[in-house]
Amino acid sequence: MGRAPQHREMLSSQGPGHDEIDFEFLGNSSGNPCTLHTNVYAQGKGNKEQQFHLWSDPTTAFHTYSIVCNPGTVDTKQILFVYYSFLVDNSPIREFRNNEAIGVPFPTSQRMRVYSSLWNADDWAMQGGRSYRNFNADGCVNSPSGSSCISKSANSLNGQAWRTQELDPAGRNRLRWVQRNFMIYD
């Protein structure tokens, strides 16, 4: 189905200040397009979802799903992220910036972990009951001493360059095009 490369140990945390950033596939068996649901749950508060019908069927070929996280402040105890970018096959579909200064919760309250699960979402998300077949997952362990696997992709960012990467003008145009043509819920 796809790969979700991560640059940091992140995605979900536990407790009353629960933080979560994710991709969710809401399928169907009725022939309608699969829905990609993106979610940011910050400091115990949700209501930051966006949904997309993608430009290609995620069940027919391999795709790459990425969440790029950019820290603004790094010290020896924690990294404070200021920006998350959601990408599908290197095309940006969503940005989520740290706007805590104006009252928008942002996932900064605790260290996050990567989780992956397949579960029956029943009728609320399944549009008739699409199910996964032949699902494979591949991941890398990230630790202070380095990642357990290194990308050999020509598109990979070397060293720490990813820490300051934001969308360039072409990326911003692509983001607007994707949201205008494929976003079905915000």
Q: How many other CB atoms sit within 10 Å of the CB of residue 23?
A: 19
3-state secondary structure at position 78? coil
d(CA 144, CA 135): 30
24, 49, 100, 166: the catalytic one is 24
d(CA 130, CA 58): 12
20, 49, 95, 166: the catalytic one is 20
3-state secondary structure at position 88? strand
d(CA 128, CA 28): 5
Spatial neighbors of 62 by CB under 8 A, at least 6 apart, are 1, 2, 3
Is 49 part of the annotated catalytic residue set? no
Is 20 part of the annotated catalytic residue set? yes
Q: Both tokens of residue 46? A: 């949700």
d(CA 75, CA 130): 45
Please name every residue paired with 139 in a beta bridge, in sequence order, or none if there are none: none
Q: Kindly list the catalytic residues.
A: 20, 24
